[in-house]
Homo-oligomer: A and B are copies of this chain.
Amino acid sequence: MAFNKRVKIKELLEKDYADQDITIMGWVRTKRSNKNVSFIALNDGSSIKNFQVVADPNLINEETLKKASTGACLKVSGKIVTSQGSGQQIELNASKIEILGEADPEKYPLQPKKHSLEFLREIAHLRVRTNTFGAVFRVRHALAFAVHKYFNDKGFFYIHTPIITASDAEGAGETFKVTTFDLKNPPLTPDGKIDYKADFFERETNLTVSGQLEGELAAMGLADIYTFGPTFRAENSNTTRHLAEFWMIEPEMAFYDAEDNQDLAEDFLKYIISYALENCKDDIEFLDKRAEEEESTKKADKRSEMGLLGRLQFVVENEFQRLTYTEAIDVLKNSNYNKKKKFQYLIENWGVDLQSEHERYLVEKHFKKPVILTDYPKEIKAFYMRQNDDGKTVAAMDILFPGIGEIVGGSQREERLDLLTKRMEEMNIPTEEMWWYLDTRRFGSTPHAGFGLGFERLVLFVTGMGNIRDVIAFPRTPGHAEF
């Protein structure tokens, strides 16, 4: 006999169920009782909003009402009626309450009070039952779905690039090793080295840092592809911006040049943020208020000028300002911030990498728009970026957002076999190991481009949360692999 004949709270709030007998199920957030009546706020995860259950002690026995404490799971049947109280338009007059699972008030860690995010991180298996994390994970879902919908609607194909890989070609950082060896006694070669020929893949393997190179292979046949998968960095960074395991979105397009790439990235970012604004209105309003409260605890000079909703609209409504790295250096060099030494790192010479403070200055103070910076010095960018005719710069782009700086990095790729091979040799990238990558330039090469978006950075931006550990269900960071 099927059990799940419930109506979701989201649907109750959106459609007309007046005077109907229905069943809802969910977890108790709060309960207020007096002699004549109990009010139970029930949440089922479908919405930030709780639904008010009204329980008459003449109909519902005392023992049941006692067990319906914060955190307990209930099945409630009754009639939808117009609410007598303020705070909600309709409520459920309970004719029957069944306790599906209790939550001993002496032991249940999530009581109806403000818990710190640090504490909630320690009970990440339960934090999804709070308002803040319910909202974060619903927004995260909406953004993920918007990514798939955007690319599908445009005729892109989703490619699953490998997680276990033998190449750290990009040199993007420290990698995690993957092995089936007994670490105590790994087999050795006669000259005393680890004998990787005896490992599972018969070679040294690690966790991928990017799906881009494999994405390029697929784009050289399917033309428009994207990846959306986990990537890994074994960097010992204990910051609010770094995870050891995070999800990346990497579209790669044959027949796109740098400008096509910029057009796509701007359109894409506006689409997915607009999608979240439209589909997660209640959640984002809640998170906006939450962020505002957080801001109000900071010193005046540390507060953001824009609120969360303001930042989201800033991105959606403005045409992104496009300029070259060289132009940006001029702007920064001549800025008051540079002259008055307000920057921690002063801009003196062409060629330096920009810091977050410089990126935010361009976006928030100078242009007051999201910014696409292009044509960076080749020395500070990866080997696969297309070399410009000036011999000094490459066709890179970084997209800069308010509050966080870089959100997207991309480039037109070097499609010319001779120039690519030469650059790889200059940068000590092993061209022989990468024969398959070079094959795409050997056979049927074409201008192509792509970019990468760190998904958690995006969720951080759209939810206004302050720590990247709070926008993924079970964060992996140095010393942390719980759950």
Residues of B with C-beta under 8 A to A71: 443-444
Query: CB of A367 within 8 A of chain B?
Result: no
Q: Contacting A478 at CB < 8 Å: which of B165, B201, B441?
A: B201
CB contacts under 8 Å to B, within A103-151, are 103-104, 107-108, 110, 125-126, 128-129, 133-134, 137-138, 140-141, 144-145, 148-149
**Contact A164–B101 (Cβ < 8 Å):** no
Name the residue of chain B whose CB is nearest to the CB of A213: B483
Bound state CA distance, A415 and B137, in angstroms?
24
A142 to chain B, nearest CB (A): 9
Q: Which of A247, A259, A445 counts the most chain B CB atoms within 10 A?
A: A445
Residues of B with C-beta under 8 A to A13: none
Query: CB of A354 within 8 A of chain B?
Result: no
Number of interface residues of A (CB under 8 A): 117
Interface window among A171-179, A322-330, A334-342: A171-179
**Contact A101–B445 (Cβ < 8 Å):** yes
**Contact A201–B479 (Cβ < 8 Å):** yes
Name the residue of chain B whose CB is nearest to the CB of A143: B158
Residues of B with C-beta under 8 A to A480: 201
A11 to chain B, nearest CB (A): 8
**Contact B436–A482 (Cβ < 8 Å):** yes
CB contacts under 8 Å to B, within A179-211, are 179-181, 183-184, 186, 193-194, 200-203, 205, 207
**Contact A444–B256 (Cβ < 8 Å):** no
Interface window among A2-10, A76-84, A297-305: A2-10
Bound state CA distance, A126 and B103, in angstroms?
57
Residues of B with C-beta under 8 A to A166: 481-482
A457 to chain B, nearest CB (A): 14
**Contact A221–B134 (Cβ < 8 Å):** yes
Query: CB of A253 within 8 A of chain B?
Result: yes
A154 to chain B, nearest CB (A): 10
A426 to chain B, nearest CB (A): 23
**Contact B134–A145 (Cβ < 8 Å):** no
Residues of B with C-beta under 8 A to A481: 162, 164-166, 201, 203, 205
Query: Assuming A181-B183, A255-B6, is B214 touching A474 (CB within 8 A)?
Result: yes
Name the residue of chain B whose CB is nearest to the CB of A203: B481
The complex is assembled from copies of this chain, and their number is: 2
**Contact B158–A144 (Cβ < 8 Å):** yes
Q: Contacting A73 at CB < 8 Å: which of B177, B193, B229, B445?
A: B445
Residues of B with C-beta under 8 A to A186: 183-184
Query: CB of A155 within 8 A of chain B?
Result: yes
In the complex, per-residue mask of A409-438: 1 if CB is within 8 Å of any chain B CB, else 0: 000000100000000000000000000110
**Contact A443–B200 (Cβ < 8 Å):** no
Bound state CA distance, A275 and B136, in angstroms?
30
A2 to chain B, nearest CB (A): 5
In the complex, per-residue mask of A24-40: 1 if CB is within 8 Å of any chain B CB, else 0: 01111000000000000
Q: Which of A148, A184, A186 counts the most chain B CB atoms within 10 A?
A: A148
**Contact B138–A157 (Cβ < 8 Å):** yes
**Contact B25–A446 (Cβ < 8 Å):** yes
A171 to chain B, nearest CB (A): 17
Q: Which of A125, A203, A234, A443 counts the most chain B CB atoms within 10 A?
A: A443
A182 to chain B, nearest CB (A): 9
Bound state CA distance, A437 and B125, in angstroms?
8
Query: CB of A373 within 8 A of chain B?
Result: no
Query: CB of A244 within 8 A of chain B?
Result: yes
Q: Contacting A4 at CB < 8 Å: which of B1, B6, B244, B253?
A: B253
Q: Which of A137, A200, A207 counts the most chain B CB atoms within 10 A?
A: A200
Which residues of A are in contact with B by a Cβ distance under 8 Å?
Answer: 1-4, 6, 8, 10, 25-28, 44-46, 71-73, 75, 100-104, 107-108, 110, 125-126, 128-129, 133-134, 137-138, 140-141, 144-145, 148-149, 152, 155, 157-167, 174, 176-181, 183-184, 186, 193-194, 200-203, 205, 207, 214, 217-218, 220-224, 229-230, 232, 234, 236, 244-245, 247, 253-257, 259-260, 263, 415, 436-437, 439-447, 472-474, 476, 478-483
